[in-house]
Amino acid sequence: MRLSLREIRRAKLRFGLLGGAVGLLVFLILFQQVLLGSLLESFTGALERQSADVVVYSEDARRSVAGSILSPEVVEAVGAVPGVAAAAPLGERTTTLSANGELVDGSVFGFVPGGPGEPTALVEGRLPASPGEAAASREDAADGFGLGATVTVEPGGAEVTVVGLTDRSRFSVSPTLWLTWEGYVEVVEAAEPDAPMVFPSLVAVATEAGEEPAAVAVDISAAVEGTDALTRSDAVAETPGVAEVRTSFLLILSLAYVVVGLVLAFFFLILTVQKSAALSLLRAVGIPMRELVTGLYLQVALVVGIGAVIGTGLVLLAAQGVGDALPLSIEPLEVAATLGLVVAVAGVGSLLALRRLLQVDPTDAVARPSLGGLA
């Protein structure tokens, strides 16, 4: 073990560069994971952070909020299904919002105050209680959606005042407003004055105590024709585009893990081959193989440890620099799990060096003329 530490001290640059390379790879892995989580939160946060246990779509919407339209009769029929404690309309409209004199794409949700479907991640102010009031995404507060701001919904020119801010409750990675159902109806009617009525996009369902949301969702789909009911978590996971984004990121992450293993494998394999003569001599003078193996894995652990510190530090700096447009949420348990997987990959990658080390024969020390042996 002392020999391994002495080797690192004598080759600081070599091991330092390797640690830096591993650190950059760890940063890439952590940053991609954090970015994936934050992107999906910004894409489906409105669904994930609302109070409904079950979300009901129209059957032909293919689980797309924007493509779902239901009639008021469906809301009543869903409310009559056994296991349903309450059912309320939940509207969503992708529209244009004017804030600070600038037009941006955004989403408007309409919910029944006190009923299922209201936002659950309020962090400042209060939820809207009457038409003309709205809760907005805290991530967009600096862009004209802060408390007290007036936002115009286009087309139609309906104005709403922001009375509360929600955390990580955006939809489709855009500013999101939460209005009362009456306020939502007014906004839609202002944009479409010729529309006969405003239909809900979804039905938000609260299940009775002791009922499994998944079972109630199955019952609703079977009992109410033309509906597709999902639990809140399933609605988030089944949102169109989520699976594709997750698969793309997981492919990149898998490649990064492979690169970590290959970099460590080739470095320590080459290092072991280069010092095979010295290792033979150590074995010849009585150094047990167990100590050499321990030294190898000590070096691997130190390199990975340095890389973990560098990678984690860079991710924390990156999270501070991104800002509120797409806030990066760093979860300690996820970081720990990622670093644990990196350690496991490093262990697998070092097996080539271990195999070469186990092949060292102490008799080679007396067979080399450079070591005073016989050719």
CA distance 342 to 335: 11
> What's the pLDDT tens digit per position in 292-320?
888 888 889 999 999 999 999 998 888 77
Residue 160 makes CB contacts below 8 A (sequence gap 6+) with 128, 132, 133, 134, 150, 151, 153, 177, 179, 183, 187
Q: Which two tokens stand for residue 277?
A: 């003569």
CA distance 325 to 143: 9
Give pLDDT, residue 224.
Answer: 94
Give pLDDT, residue 375.
Answer: 45
Is there a contact between 253 and 84 (Cβ–Cβ < 8 Å)? no
For 131-173, the three-class secondary structure string (H helix, E strand, C coil) is CCEEEEEHHHHHHCCCCCCEEEEECCCEEEEEEEEECCCCECC
Q: What is the largest CA-CA distance in the chain?
A: 101
218: left (phi over 0), alpha (psi -120 to 50) or beta: alpha
Report, as ranges of residue numbers, the positions in the chain whose pLDDT lies below 50.
371, 373-375
Preceding omega of 175 cis (within 30 degrees of 0): no
Give pLDDT, residue 53.
Answer: 96
CA atoms within 13 A of residue 31's CA, in its CB half-sphere: 19
CA distance 199 to 167: 27
Q: What are the distances in angstroms from CA 297 to CA 26, 294, 308, 336?
A: 19, 5, 16, 20
Place of tokens 């998944």: 214
Percent of the chain exceeding pLDDT 90 equals: 50
CA distance 87 to 98: 32
Give pLDDT, residue 105.
Answer: 92
Helix H or strand E segment including 58: strand 54-58
CA distance 99 to 74: 35
CA distance 39 to 29: 15
Sign of the torsion formed by the C-alpha atoms of 156, 157, 161 and 165? positive
Residue 259 makes CB contacts below 8 A (sequence gap 6+) with 25
CA distance 296 to 299: 5
Give pLDDT, residue 290.
Answer: 85
